[in-house]
Amino acid sequence: MAGHSKFKNIMHRKGAQDKKRSALFSKLSREITVAAKMGMPDPNANPRLRAAVLAARSEGMPKDNIQRAIDKSQGGDTANYEDVRYEGFGPGGVSLIVETLTDNRNRTATNVRTIFAKNGGNLGASGSVSHGFERLGLISYPVKAGSSDRVFEAALEAGADDVQSTEDGHEIWTAIDGLHETAKTIEAALGEAEAIKLAWKPGLMVSVGEADAGQLLRMIDALEDDDDVQTVWGNYDVPEDVLAKL
Protein backbone atom coordinates (compact mmCIF):
# COMPACT_ATOMS: atom_id res chain seq x y z
CA MET A 1 0.00 0.00 0.00
CA ALA A 2 1.37 3.41 -0.90
CA GLY A 3 1.09 6.87 0.61
CA HIS A 4 1.10 10.42 -0.72
CA SER A 5 0.26 11.17 -4.35
CA LYS A 6 -0.79 14.13 -6.47
CA PHE A 7 -3.54 12.19 -8.21
CA LYS A 8 -6.01 15.02 -7.57
CA ASN A 9 -4.04 16.93 -10.17
CA ILE A 10 -5.02 14.30 -12.74
CA MET A 11 -8.68 14.96 -12.17
CA HIS A 12 -8.00 18.59 -13.02
CA ARG A 13 -9.28 21.69 -11.29
CA LYS A 14 -12.74 21.04 -9.91
CA GLY A 15 -13.43 24.78 -9.75
CA ALA A 16 -13.83 24.94 -13.52
CA GLN A 17 -16.82 22.61 -13.28
CA ASP A 18 -18.26 24.32 -10.20
CA LYS A 19 -18.89 27.42 -12.29
CA LYS A 20 -21.08 25.43 -14.66
CA ARG A 21 -23.47 23.67 -12.32
CA SER A 22 -26.26 23.31 -14.83
CA ALA A 23 -24.05 21.54 -17.38
CA LEU A 24 -22.52 19.35 -14.68
CA PHE A 25 -25.93 18.34 -13.32
CA SER A 26 -27.03 17.48 -16.85
CA LYS A 27 -24.10 15.08 -17.26
CA LEU A 28 -24.68 13.53 -13.86
CA SER A 29 -28.38 13.09 -14.63
CA ARG A 30 -27.56 11.39 -17.91
CA GLU A 31 -25.25 8.91 -16.18
CA ILE A 32 -27.93 8.16 -13.57
CA THR A 33 -30.56 7.58 -16.24
CA VAL A 34 -28.30 5.36 -18.33
CA ALA A 35 -27.19 3.35 -15.30
CA ALA A 36 -30.78 2.85 -14.15
CA LYS A 37 -31.88 1.85 -17.64
CA MET A 38 -29.07 -0.71 -18.03
CA GLY A 39 -29.80 -2.36 -14.69
CA MET A 40 -32.22 -2.07 -11.81
CA PRO A 41 -33.58 1.38 -10.82
CA ASP A 42 -32.56 0.60 -7.22
CA PRO A 43 -29.08 1.96 -6.28
CA ASN A 44 -28.65 -0.82 -3.71
CA ALA A 45 -29.05 -3.47 -6.41
CA ASN A 46 -27.22 -1.64 -9.20
CA PRO A 47 -23.53 -0.79 -8.55
CA ARG A 48 -23.22 1.60 -11.50
CA LEU A 49 -26.34 3.47 -10.44
CA ARG A 50 -25.16 3.66 -6.85
CA ALA A 51 -21.86 5.14 -8.02
CA ALA A 52 -23.72 7.68 -10.18
CA VAL A 53 -25.99 8.70 -7.31
CA LEU A 54 -23.00 9.12 -4.98
CA ALA A 55 -21.27 11.31 -7.57
CA ALA A 56 -24.40 13.44 -7.90
CA ARG A 57 -24.71 13.82 -4.14
CA SER A 58 -21.07 14.83 -3.80
CA GLU A 59 -21.70 17.65 -6.28
CA GLY A 60 -24.75 18.85 -4.38
CA MET A 61 -27.43 17.67 -6.79
CA PRO A 62 -30.87 17.86 -5.08
CA LYS A 63 -32.57 14.58 -4.21
CA ASP A 64 -35.54 15.45 -6.43
CA ASN A 65 -33.25 15.82 -9.45
CA ILE A 66 -31.65 12.44 -8.73
CA GLN A 67 -35.03 10.74 -8.43
CA ARG A 68 -36.29 12.35 -11.65
CA ALA A 69 -33.23 11.03 -13.48
CA ILE A 70 -33.94 7.52 -12.17
CA ASP A 71 -37.64 7.77 -13.05
CA LYS A 72 -36.75 8.93 -16.56
CA SER A 73 -35.01 5.60 -17.21
CA GLN A 74 -38.34 3.81 -16.91
CA GLY A 75 -39.93 5.84 -19.71
CA GLY A 76 -40.10 4.60 -23.28
CA ASP A 77 -38.77 7.79 -24.83
CA THR A 78 -35.30 7.68 -23.28
CA ALA A 79 -32.50 8.20 -25.79
CA ASN A 80 -30.12 5.28 -26.30
CA TYR A 81 -26.69 6.31 -25.04
CA GLU A 82 -23.52 4.26 -25.28
CA ASP A 83 -20.15 4.45 -23.58
CA VAL A 84 -17.40 5.43 -26.02
CA ARG A 85 -13.75 5.96 -25.04
CA TYR A 86 -11.25 8.12 -26.90
CA GLU A 87 -7.48 8.17 -26.40
CA GLY A 88 -4.90 10.69 -27.44
CA PHE A 89 -1.96 12.91 -26.62
CA GLY A 90 -1.92 16.45 -25.30
CA PRO A 91 0.72 19.20 -25.02
CA GLY A 92 3.87 18.17 -23.22
CA GLY A 93 3.51 14.56 -24.38
CA VAL A 94 0.83 13.67 -21.82
CA SER A 95 -1.61 10.82 -22.40
CA LEU A 96 -5.34 11.46 -22.10
CA ILE A 97 -8.33 9.13 -21.90
CA VAL A 98 -11.72 10.71 -22.61
CA GLU A 99 -14.84 8.83 -21.51
CA THR A 100 -18.12 9.82 -23.14
CA LEU A 101 -21.81 8.95 -23.12
CA THR A 102 -23.25 9.62 -26.54
CA ASP A 103 -26.30 9.06 -28.69
CA ASN A 104 -24.38 10.12 -31.81
CA ARG A 105 -20.89 8.67 -32.31
CA ASN A 106 -20.11 10.83 -35.34
CA ARG A 107 -20.88 14.08 -33.52
CA THR A 108 -18.88 13.10 -30.46
CA ALA A 109 -15.87 11.86 -32.42
CA THR A 110 -15.78 15.06 -34.47
CA ASN A 111 -16.00 17.27 -31.40
CA VAL A 112 -13.31 15.40 -29.47
CA ARG A 113 -10.97 15.28 -32.46
CA THR A 114 -11.43 19.01 -33.07
CA ILE A 115 -10.65 19.89 -29.45
CA PHE A 116 -7.45 17.84 -29.55
CA ALA A 117 -6.36 19.40 -32.85
CA LYS A 118 -7.08 22.99 -31.78
CA ASN A 119 -5.10 22.63 -28.57
CA GLY A 120 -1.84 21.12 -29.71
CA GLY A 121 -2.80 17.49 -29.31
CA ASN A 122 -3.75 14.59 -31.51
CA LEU A 123 -6.31 11.84 -31.17
CA GLY A 124 -4.93 8.31 -31.28
CA ALA A 125 -6.37 4.89 -32.02
CA SER A 126 -8.06 2.78 -29.38
CA GLY A 127 -5.39 1.39 -27.07
CA SER A 128 -2.79 3.99 -28.05
CA VAL A 129 -2.45 5.31 -24.49
CA SER A 130 -4.58 3.07 -22.25
CA HIS A 131 -1.75 0.53 -22.09
CA GLY A 132 0.02 3.06 -19.85
CA PHE A 133 -2.87 3.09 -17.37
CA GLU A 134 -4.39 0.51 -15.08
CA ARG A 135 -8.17 0.09 -14.92
CA LEU A 136 -9.06 0.01 -11.23
CA GLY A 137 -11.80 0.79 -8.77
CA LEU A 138 -11.50 4.11 -6.94
CA ILE A 139 -13.20 4.94 -3.63
CA SER A 140 -12.90 8.57 -2.51
CA TYR A 141 -13.36 10.05 0.95
CA PRO A 142 -13.05 13.66 2.14
CA VAL A 143 -10.38 14.64 4.67
CA LYS A 144 -13.00 14.75 7.43
CA ALA A 145 -13.55 10.97 7.09
CA GLY A 146 -10.58 10.40 9.36
CA SER A 147 -6.81 10.44 9.70
CA SER A 148 -4.63 8.81 7.08
CA ASP A 149 -3.87 6.00 9.56
CA ARG A 150 -7.55 5.33 10.20
CA VAL A 151 -8.39 5.27 6.50
CA PHE A 152 -5.37 3.07 5.80
CA GLU A 153 -6.47 0.53 8.41
CA ALA A 154 -10.06 0.46 7.15
CA ALA A 155 -8.87 -0.01 3.56
CA LEU A 156 -6.41 -2.73 4.57
CA GLU A 157 -9.11 -4.63 6.46
CA ALA A 158 -11.40 -4.39 3.41
CA GLY A 159 -8.76 -5.82 1.10
CA ALA A 160 -7.97 -2.67 -0.90
CA ASP A 161 -4.76 -2.54 -2.93
CA ASP A 162 -3.56 1.01 -2.34
CA VAL A 163 -4.35 4.15 -0.32
CA GLN A 164 -3.27 7.70 -1.13
CA SER A 165 -4.01 10.40 1.43
CA THR A 166 -3.37 14.08 0.71
CA GLU A 167 -4.63 17.43 1.96
CA ASP A 168 -7.46 17.07 -0.59
CA GLY A 169 -8.79 13.77 0.74
CA HIS A 170 -8.31 10.01 0.66
CA GLU A 171 -8.24 7.80 -2.43
CA ILE A 172 -8.56 4.05 -2.04
CA TRP A 173 -7.71 1.82 -4.98
CA THR A 174 -8.94 -1.71 -5.49
CA ALA A 175 -9.45 -4.34 -8.18
CA ILE A 176 -12.49 -3.79 -10.40
CA ASP A 177 -14.19 -7.06 -9.52
CA GLY A 178 -14.00 -6.30 -5.81
CA LEU A 179 -14.85 -2.61 -5.93
CA HIS A 180 -18.33 -2.59 -4.51
CA GLU A 181 -17.75 -5.27 -1.87
CA THR A 182 -14.65 -3.40 -0.72
CA ALA A 183 -16.59 -0.13 -0.69
CA LYS A 184 -19.35 -1.65 1.47
CA THR A 185 -16.83 -2.95 3.98
CA ILE A 186 -15.04 0.39 4.20
CA GLU A 187 -18.38 2.17 4.49
CA ALA A 188 -19.10 0.27 7.69
CA ALA A 189 -15.97 1.84 9.22
CA LEU A 190 -15.85 5.30 7.64
CA GLY A 191 -19.40 6.03 6.52
CA GLU A 192 -20.65 6.69 2.99
CA ALA A 193 -17.96 7.39 0.41
CA GLU A 194 -17.78 10.60 -1.56
CA ALA A 195 -17.44 8.63 -4.79
CA ILE A 196 -17.15 5.02 -5.96
CA LYS A 197 -16.18 4.54 -9.59
CA LEU A 198 -14.02 2.87 -12.18
CA ALA A 199 -10.92 4.89 -12.93
CA TRP A 200 -7.79 4.96 -15.05
CA LYS A 201 -4.65 5.11 -12.92
CA PRO A 202 -1.46 6.07 -14.79
CA GLY A 203 1.64 3.97 -14.40
CA LEU A 204 4.00 6.86 -15.07
CA MET A 205 3.37 10.56 -14.42
CA VAL A 206 4.55 13.30 -16.80
CA SER A 207 5.59 16.62 -15.28
CA VAL A 208 4.28 19.47 -17.45
CA GLY A 209 6.29 22.69 -17.69
CA GLU A 210 5.07 26.26 -17.99
CA ALA A 211 5.35 26.23 -21.79
CA ASP A 212 2.72 23.48 -22.15
CA ALA A 213 0.62 23.70 -18.99
CA GLY A 214 -1.70 26.51 -20.09
CA GLN A 215 -2.58 24.88 -23.40
CA LEU A 216 -3.04 21.48 -21.77
CA LEU A 217 -5.45 22.81 -19.16
CA ARG A 218 -7.38 24.73 -21.83
CA MET A 219 -7.72 21.47 -23.76
CA ILE A 220 -9.07 19.68 -20.71
CA ASP A 221 -11.49 22.53 -20.00
CA ALA A 222 -12.76 22.32 -23.58
CA LEU A 223 -13.21 18.56 -23.35
CA GLU A 224 -15.06 18.81 -20.05
CA ASP A 225 -17.29 21.52 -21.52
CA ASP A 226 -18.49 19.16 -24.26
CA ASP A 227 -21.94 17.79 -23.45
CA ASP A 228 -21.00 14.20 -24.36
CA VAL A 229 -17.78 14.03 -22.30
CA GLN A 230 -18.21 12.51 -18.85
CA THR A 231 -14.63 12.23 -17.55
CA VAL A 232 -11.11 13.11 -18.67
CA TRP A 233 -8.20 11.12 -17.23
CA GLY A 234 -4.54 11.87 -17.78
CA ASN A 235 -1.01 11.13 -16.61
CA TYR A 236 -0.02 14.77 -16.19
CA ASP A 237 1.33 16.53 -13.11
CA VAL A 238 1.39 20.33 -13.20
CA PRO A 239 3.68 21.53 -10.38
CA GLU A 240 2.22 24.06 -7.96
CA ASP A 241 4.71 26.76 -8.97
CA VAL A 242 3.64 26.40 -12.60
CA LEU A 243 -0.06 26.52 -11.71
CA ALA A 244 0.54 29.71 -9.75
CA LYS A 245 1.80 31.44 -12.91
CA LEU A 246 -1.20 30.54 -15.05
Which has the closest alpha carbon to 33: 23, 41, 44, 25? 41
What is the predicted pLDDT for the residue at 246? 78
Burial of 228 (0-12, 13-18, 19+ CB in 10 A): buried
pLDDT category of residue 2 using cuts at 50, 70 and 90 = very low
The model's pLDDT over 77-132, given as tens digits with 9 standing for 90+, comes to 667 889 999 999 999 999 999 999 999 999 999 999 999 999 999 999 999 999 99
Provide the residue count of the chain: 246
Domain edges within the chain: 15-72, 82-131+204-243, 135-200
Options 3.40.50.300, 3.30.499.10, 3.30.70.980, 3.40.50.1580; which CATH number does 82-131+204-243 get? 3.30.70.980
The pTM of the full predicted model, rounded to 2 decimals, is 0.85
What is the predicted pLDDT for the residue at 39? 85
What is the predicted pLDDT for the residue at 136? 94
Q: H helices of 60-197, where?
A: 63-72, 105-118, 148-158, 179-190
Beta bridge partners of 200: 135
Whether the per-residue pLDDT at 166 is higher than 70: the answer is: yes
Query: 21-38 and 63-72 helices cross at what angle (nearest 10)?
Result: 40
Q: Chain-wide mean pLDDT for the chain?
A: 88
What is the predicted pLDDT for the residue at 100? 96
Report the C-alpha gap between 94 and 223 in whole angstroms. 15
Which has the closest alpha carbon to 111: 243, 224, 198? 224
Strands 195-202 and 236-237: unpaired
What is the predicted pLDDT for the residue at 207? 92
Alpha-carbon 21 to chain mean position: 16
- What residue type is 105 in one-letter code? R
What is the predicted pLDDT for the residue at 18? 54
Report the C-alpha gap between 20 and 230 in whole angstroms. 14
Say if 15-72 and 135-200 have the same CATH topology.
no
The model's pLDDT over 11-34, given as tens digits with 9 standing for 90+, comes to 544 455 455 677 888 899 999 999
Residues above pLDDT 70, as percent of the chain: 91
Burial of 120 (0-12, 13-18, 19+ CB in 10 A): middle
Report the C-alpha gap between 216 and 31 in whole angstroms. 26
The model's pLDDT over 30-52, given as tens digits with 9 standing for 90+, comes to 999 999 998 889 988 888 898 89
What is the predicted pLDDT for the residue at 19? 55
Return the CATH number of the domain spanning residue range 15-72.
1.10.10.200
pLDDT category of residue 242 using cuts at 50, 70 and 90 = confident
Superfamily of segment(s) 135-200:
YebC, transcriptional regulation domain (3.30.70.980)
Whether the per-residue pLDDT at 228 is higher than 90: the answer is: yes
Report the C-alpha gap between 220 and 12 in whole angstroms. 8
DSSP state of 73: T
pLDDT category of residue 6 using cuts at 50, 70 and 90 = very low
